[in-house]
Chains A and B, each alone.
Chain A
Amino acid sequence: MNVPDDRQYTLEHEWIDSQGRVGITDYAQDALGDVVFVELPEIGQTLKRGQSFGAVESVKSVSDLYSPMNGVVAAVNQDLAEHPDWVNQDPYGSGWIVQLSERSGGDELLSADLYRLKTGGDQ
């Protein structure tokens, strides 16, 4: 399971990079299966750390999205409306979900090493 070192993670299987982009991890997309719809927040919405801001729907199940930090939704990945499968195919790249600005409260984020450990160490 792919866990890039250049970003931070949450126990809810999300990642956030230095630009404030947020997505779900390889582990999460694999567990969900084929993604068919991503429910996105409004641009400008203020989010608290841990707040639910959307959901990823696969054929079989649904997973809520929780904000990894406090921040403001600066951008959403509109391409996912046409290509929800990008979340499966490229979860750390073209499958990004939102971008947060004015970020704070990231002290509980996990490093890649710690995330690997917390998700069983066999990823």
Chain B
Amino acid sequence: MQTPLTSWHRRHGAKMTTFGGYEMPIEYQGILEEHRLVRESVGMFDVSHMGEFLVQGPKAPDFLDRLVTKAPSRLQPGQALYTFLCAPDAGTVDDLLVYRRGTSEFWLVVNAANRAGDWAWIRDRLPTDGVELIDRSDETALIAVQGPKASEILGPLAGNEVLKLKPFRFFNEVRVANTTVMISRTGYTGEDGFEIYASAHDAEGLWEQLYRQGIPPIGLGARDTLRLEARLPLYGHELSRSISPLEAGLARFVDLEQSEHFVGQEALRRQREVGLASTIVGLELTAPGVARSGFSVVDGDQTIGVVTSGSFSPTLKKAVALALVPMKFHTVGTPLELVIRGRRVPARVAATPFYQRNRSAR
């Protein structure tokens, strides 16, 4: 499948890959340079492959409260939250953003690879009346503008309106570069930034205007290294049907005390009471090498865990990884080994996020 911008990426010399079923740009000028641009300046990403569902109707707030792990009914209109769809056994069905657009109107942003599964999951739980579910993915483009200079460069294009947005706040309808969009102060890079939802029809015009303002396009390669340094989870890696949000270390996005019981709440409570068997930790390699997703983590002669994501960190200039290991290995500093193509490479448990931006400068 193509996003509204796939042909633009090709025309501008991007190396392409297939991700979540879509033809997406992996890099334009090299992952290291694109990563640096977002950390030090600004860059933009086409993430139109993400799925968008509209959930609306008088019973929508109550319905969503019973569906995701933190109550959307407590949001003010104009506010968004990061949360999970969980299975009854506490496994993660997907991670998503929920935007409250009005009293009874919500906007869900889901992973491209999970779009069909999430759709069926939500549809199967709809009440007989009072909630409408609409798939807006195909007519919606999503452009993320990220980096310390994101507000400085977007401000003039959006009448400086967007500079007032706090994290996880959004404007439902605002003009950016003469295009009507929804814009939120959210992102997936560990930097300040915005995500802009536009109609697919307007996407190329908007993207082109942002490009002419000097915002460089960034591929999915740098998106992955940026999110890994910031310890942001990627579904299918740190989260899956067999890794719960609690095991992924994301308890702050789960409200176990909620009175409106959501799917998976009991099993998650049990996990907390019994104690987690395993957890996602950060690892730093202490000898040369790069660990990749799927590599084994060993302690002595025992395989104890698996790397869920791994890469060279462009900011730290060393290899880092996230791995699922038994709870007893979670302490920062714990020495472990990774198996890289049959070779054992020493590593140690590291504090995460690996990279955190300096917020005092803002």
Chain A interfacial positions (CB closer than 8 Å to B): 33-34, 36-37, 39, 55, 57-60, 62, 64, 81
Q: Which residues of B contact A34 (CB under 8 A)?
A: 30-32
B341 x A59 contact (CB < 8 A) = no
Give the CA-CA distance A59 to B30 in the complex, in Å.
9
- From 218 to 237 in chain B, residues with beta carbon under 8 angstroms from any chain A beta carbon are 221, 224-225
Is B70 interfacial (CB 8 A cutoff)?
no
Residues of A within 8 A of B311 (CB): 59-60
Partner of A37, one of B26, B30, B290, B343: B290
| Nearest chain A residue, comparing its CB with the CB of B220 | A60
A113 to chain B, nearest CB (A): 26
Chain A CB within 8 A of B289 CB: yes
Q: Is the Cβ of A81 less than 8 Å from the Cβ of B31? A: no
In the complex, A60→B306 CA distance in Å? 18
Instruction: Evaluate contact between B32 and A81: CB separation under 8 angstroms.
Output: no
Minimal beta-carbon separation of B335 from chain A (angstroms): 21
The number of A-B residue pairs with CB atoms under 8 Å apart is 42
Which B residue's beta carbon lies closest to that of A52?
B341
Q: Which residues of B contact A81 (CB under 8 A)?
A: 288
Contact partner of B32 among A39, A57, A59, A62, CB < 8 A? A59
> How far is B343's CA from A38's CA once the two chains are assembled, in angstroms?
14
What is the distance, in angstroms, from B245's C-beta to the closest C-beta of chain A?
27
Asked if A37 and B288 make an inter-chain contact with CB atoms under 8 angstroms apart, the answer reads: yes
Q: Given the complex of chains A and B, what is the CA–CA distance between A88 and B69 in angstroms?
A: 46
Beta-carbon contact of A57 and B314 below 8 Å: no
Give the shortest distance, in Å, between A97 (CB) and chain B (any CB): 15
Per-residue CB contact flags for chain B residues 247-286 toward chain A (1 = under 8 Å, else 0) read: 0000000000000000000000000000000000000000
Asked if B225 and A59 sit within 8 Å, CB to CB, the answer is yes
In the bound complex, do residue B290 and residue A57 qualify as a contact, i.e. CB atoms below 8 Å apart? yes
Contact: A36 with B221, CB < 8 Å?
no
What are 16 A-B contacts with C-beta separation under 8 Å?
A: A34-B31, A34-B32, A36-B312, A37-B288, A37-B290, A39-B288, A39-B341, A39-B343, A58-B31, A59-B311, A59-B312, A60-B27, A60-B221, A60-B224, A60-B311, A62-B292
Q: How far is the CA of A33 from the CA of B15 in the complex (A)?
A: 10
Bound-complex Cα distance A58 to B225 (A): 12
A60 surroundings in chain B (CB, below 8 A): 26-27, 31, 221, 224, 311
Q: Tell me whether A57 and B221 are in contact (CB under 8 A).
A: no
The 9 closest A-B CB pairs, nearest first, are A36-B312, A59-B31, A57-B290, A34-B32, A34-B30, A60-B221, A59-B312, A34-B31, A37-B288
A39 touches B314 (CB 8 A): no
Report the minimum CB–CB distance from A57 to chain B (whole Å): 4
- Of the candidates B15, B288, B314, B343, the one whose C-beta lies within 8 Å of that of A59 is B314
C-alpha spacing A37/B311, complex, angstroms: 11
Closest to B343 in A: A39
CB-CB < 8 A to B289: which residues of A?
Answer: 37, 39, 57
Find out whether the CB atom of B312 lies under 8 angstroms from the CB atom of A33.
no
Contacts of A57 in B (CB 8 A): 289-290, 312
B32: chain A residues at CB < 8 Å are 34, 36, 59
Which residue of chain B has the shortest Cβ distance to A88 in the bound complex?
B30
Q: How far is the CA of A55 from the CA of B224 in the complex (A)?
A: 22
Which of A37, A39, A64 is in CB contact (< 8 Å) with B312?
Answer: A37
- Report the minimum CB–CB distance from B1 to chain A (whole Å): 22
Closest to A38 in B: B288
Given contacts A57-B290, A59-B221, contact A33 B341 (CB under 8 A): no
Rounded to whole Å, the gap between the CB of A32 and the closest CB of chain B is 11
Encoded as 1 (CB less than 8 Å from any A CB) or 0, chain B from 296 to 330 comes to 00000000000000011010000100000000000
- A60 to B222 alpha-carbon distance, docked (Å): 9
